């Protein structure tokens, strides 16, 4: 339950705008209730990934109080959310959790990405984060940022046409969680973009980042699962293979995947990952497949029940709302450089609202986490 009691005193605009925001929040709650809670099971994990576009970087991307209410409301309809493009300055993220989401939520966040020399801006000083509902999801006290072993680094192009071996532009972030019966490792990424030319060296770097993280996690899962089974044998488990059932890996985030048929998707699937969200488009133009949720499961009852994408601009900052922000709220950013009327409304649609929310939609999956009936039936069926 979000902390919406601040609508009256946090919104400094007119009473007309406060009423407008209250109406939009009610509409957003209804849509999320219908699309997410109305179609999913309370005994499932509602997992999501969302690139929040320079969140916390200030300037033109500084979220208003109104936007913070909307962002919190969307997140609060899920149980565990991976966020990309969190800025070095964490005050906005802390504000989101402490003053809009509330005490039922906690978060984990990486250090900022970094580089050396002419690659110092490759990761844009970004962080990756997980927000999780403490009543549904348990943090299992294990975190890691993935660094590739020597000799397995990624080939990155230099300006002179040569290449060198580098780490990920933004270091992938892995955390161990538990929800219900399901133990799993969750890894979030924001893959290098470069450019979109299929023949370019930077596209190869993008593809190789995806392939390298998939390879790394697949190998880690195999070693982890084998070790768990060996431990179960040493402990004389009746069914030692069950010892490896906790080795479930979920890989999600902004992969900058071009299309379901592209080599960037092949790089993800080539290491045995199943992509739950493969056909879904997550950009505002509804023509890109950048964001994805994939998994390599060890537990036989692991199931992705369904997946979807939430289009927030169908409910807040809508096309039909443009005149309200120009004429009633008179947002200064919209009226800069002498813009007014149709030009100001056009700026609202093209730039302002995506800077207040994001240029990515939220992508989600429902995952089964209650295996109790299958477990009890197996006990009944034992010889």
Higher pLDDT, 54 or 125: 54
pLDDT of residue 117: 41
Give the chain's mean pLDDT.
94
**Overall average pLDDT of the 18-43 stretch:** 96
Q: Please provide the size of the chain in residues.
A: 383
Higher pLDDT, 364 or 196: 364
**pLDDT tens, 182-221?**
999 999 999 999 877 777 889 999 999 999 999 999 999 9
CA distances from 340 to 64, 206, 324 (A): 21, 41, 12
- Confidence (pLDDT) at 13: 77
Give the tens place of pLDDT for each residue, 281-298. 999 999 999 999 999 999
Q: In what order do the strands lie in the sheet with 105-109?
A: 105-109, 127-133, 80-86, 44-55, 362-368, 304-310
User: Which residues, at least 6 apart from 291, have a Cβ–Cβ distance to it below 8 Å?
Assistant: 49, 50, 51, 252, 253, 254, 255, 277, 282, 360, 361, 363
Tokens standing for 284? Answer: 């505002």
* pLDDT recorded at residue 77: 98
Q: Is 345 among the domain residues?
A: no
> What is the rounded CA–CA span in Å between residue 249 and residue 218?
8
Q: How far apart are the first and last CA of the chain?
A: 47
pLDDT tens digits for range 304-335:
999 999 999 999 999 999 999 999 999 999 99
pLDDT of 150 above 60:
yes
* Residue 121 pLDDT greater than 60, yes or no: no
pLDDT at 306: 98
Kindly indicate the confidence band of residue 93, based on its pLDDT and cuts at 50, 70 and 90.
very high
Is pLDDT of 382 > 90?
Answer: no
Q: What is the pLDDT of residue 119?
A: 47
- Number of domains composing the chain: 1
Instruction: Write out pLDDT tens, residues 76-90.
Output: 999 999 999 999 999
Closest listed residue to residue 223, CA positions, set 251, 249, 197: 249
Residue 124 belongs to domain with CATH number: 3.60.10.10
Could you say which DSSP state residue 205 is in? H
pLDDT band at residue 271 under the 50/70/90 scheme: very high
pLDDT of 120 strictly over 70 = no
The whole-angstrom separation of Cα 65 and Cα 21 is 10
User: Does residue 322 lie within any of the structural domains?
Assistant: no
State the maximum Cα–Cα separation within the chain, in Å, rounded to a whole number.
Answer: 81
Residue 352 lies in a domain: no
Secondary structure element (H or E) that encloses residue 17, with its range = helix 15-32
Per-residue model confidence (pLDDT) at position 378: 87
In a domain, 276, yes or no: yes
Does any domain span residue 94? yes
Q: Which range marks the domain in which residue 121 is found?
A: 4-316+357-381
Does the pLDDT at position 116 exceed 50?
no
In a domain, 327, yes or no: no
Residue range 33-79, pLDDT digits in tens: 999 999 999 999 999 999 999 999 988 899 999 999 999 999 999 99
Q: Please indicate whether residue 375 or residue 345 has the higher confidence score (pLDDT).
A: 345
93 and 56 Cβ atoms separated by less than 8 Å? yes
Give a yes or no: residue 337 inside a domain: no
Q: Give the position of tokens 């060296």.
A: 201
Is pLDDT above 50 for 101? yes
pLDDT of residue 197: 74
Residue 328 domain flag: no
Please compute the mean of the pLDDT values over residues 13-34 and round it to a whole number: 95
Q: C-alpha dihedral over 3, 355, 307, 144, to 10 degrees? A: -80
Q: How far is residue 167's CA from residue 150's CA, in Å, rounded to a whole number?
A: 10
Contact 52, 85 (CB under 8 A): yes
């Amino acid at each position: 339950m979000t902390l919406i009691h601040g609508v009256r005193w946090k919104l400094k605009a007119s009473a007309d705008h406060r009423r407008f925001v209250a109406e939009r929040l009610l509409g957003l709650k209804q849509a999320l209730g219908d699309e997410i809670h109305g179609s999913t099971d309370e005994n499932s994990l509602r997992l999501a990934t969302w690139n929040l576009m320079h969140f916390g970087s200030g300037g033109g991307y500084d979220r208003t109080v109104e936007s913070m209410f909307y962002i919190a409301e969307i997140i609060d309809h899920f149980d565990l959310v991976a966020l990309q493009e969190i800025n070095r300055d964490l005050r906005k993220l802390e504000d989101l959790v402490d003053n809009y989401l509330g005490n039922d939520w906690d978060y984990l966040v990486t250090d900022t990405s970094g580089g050396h020399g002419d690659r110092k801006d490759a990761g844009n000083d970004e962080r990756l984060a997980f927000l999780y509902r403490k009543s549904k999801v348990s943090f299992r006290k294990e975190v890691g940022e993935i660094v590739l072993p020597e000799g397995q680094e990624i080939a990155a192009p230099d300006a002179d046409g040569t290449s060198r071996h580098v780490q990920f532009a933004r270091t992938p972030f892995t955390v161990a969680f538990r929800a219900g019966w399901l133990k799993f490792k969750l890894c979030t990424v924001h893959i290098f973009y470069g450019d979109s030319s299929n023949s370019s060296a930077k596209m190869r770097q993008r593809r190789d980042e995806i392939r390298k993280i998939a390879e790394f996690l697949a190998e880690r899962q195999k070693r982890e699962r084998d070790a768990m089974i060996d431990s179960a044998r040493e402990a004389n488990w009746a069914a030692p293979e069950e010892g490896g059932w906790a080795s479930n890996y979920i890989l999600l985030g902004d992969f900058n995947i071009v299309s379901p048929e592209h080599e960037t998707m092949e790089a993800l699937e080539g290491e045995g990952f199943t992509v739950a969200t493969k056909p879904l488009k997550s950009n505002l133009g509804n023509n890109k497949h950048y964001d994805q949720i994939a998994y390599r499961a060890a537990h036989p009852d692991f199931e992705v029940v369904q997946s979807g994408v939430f289009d927030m601009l169908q409910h807040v900052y809508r096309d039909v709302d443009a005149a309200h922000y120009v004429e009633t709220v008179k947002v200064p950013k919209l009226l800069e450089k002498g813009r007014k009327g149709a030009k100001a409304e056009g700026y609202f649609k093209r730039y302002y609202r995506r800077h207040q929310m994001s240029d990515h939609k939220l992508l989600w999956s429902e995952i089964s986490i209650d295996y109790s009936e299958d477990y009890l039936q197996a006990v009944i069926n034992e010889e």
